[in-house]
Amino acid sequence: MPPAEPDPRLAAAVASLTAGLPDGAPPVHPMRALSAAGFGVGGHLFAFVAGEGRLIAKVPSAVVDGYEQTGTGTRMAMRGRPMREWVEVPPEAGDAAWAEVVAAAYAFVSGG
């Protein structure tokens, strides 16, 4: 069961995403991610906020590379091991960057 209150910035990015989804698009649902509230689609996690307010999102590896090149985010590492399809986006990246990454993660995980 996810915590009652997800990070407000992530919740706002997800609300913006869901407002623009066409009828019949797979629905977004709250999910637990490690010890944080996150969001999923089809039973699969696509975004959550980790320590220090970092957005963590699942996107294709090539998209992670692009975010690294533009300075939007960096490849997530767990216990020193780089995660191929997970990006970390700092809070300083701004709301527009968060919304873009959340939308990309939803599209990737939902198969859209």
Q: Is 88 exposed, middle or buried (0-12, 13-18, 19+ CB in 10 A)?
A: buried
Query: Residue 2: what pLDDT?
Result: 45
Residue range 31-45: mean pLDDT, rounded: 90
Q: What is the pLDDT of residues 8-23, one digit of tens each?
A: 999 999 999 999 999 9
| Domain spans in the chain, listed from the N-terminal domain onward | 8-18+26-110
Q: What sign does the dihedral 20-103-43-110 (CA atoms) show?
A: positive
Residue range 27-51: mean pLDDT, rounded: 91
CA 11 to chain centroid, in Å, comes to 11
Residue 60 and residue 85 in contact, taking contact as beta carbons nearer than 8 Å:
yes
Nearest residue to 16 via CA among 87, 99, 72: 99
Q: For residues 48, 51, 52 and 57, what is the CA-based torsion angle, rounded to 10 degrees? A: -30
> Which segment of 27-31, 34-38, 101-105 scores lowest on mean pLDDT?
34-38
Q: Which CATH architecture is the domain 8-18+26-110 placed in?
A: Alpha-Beta Complex (3.90)
Q: What is the pTM of this model?
A: 0.92
Residue type, 16: S
Q: Which residues have a Cβ under 8 Å from the Cβ of 80 and sit 6 or more positions away?
A: none
Residue 36 and residue 7 in contact, taking contact as beta carbons nearer than 8 Å:
yes
Residue range 86-109: mean pLDDT, rounded: 97
Query: Residue 3: what pLDDT?
Result: 52
Helix pair 61-70, 95-110: axis angle to 10 deg? 170
**Mean pLDDT, the chain, as a whole number?**
93
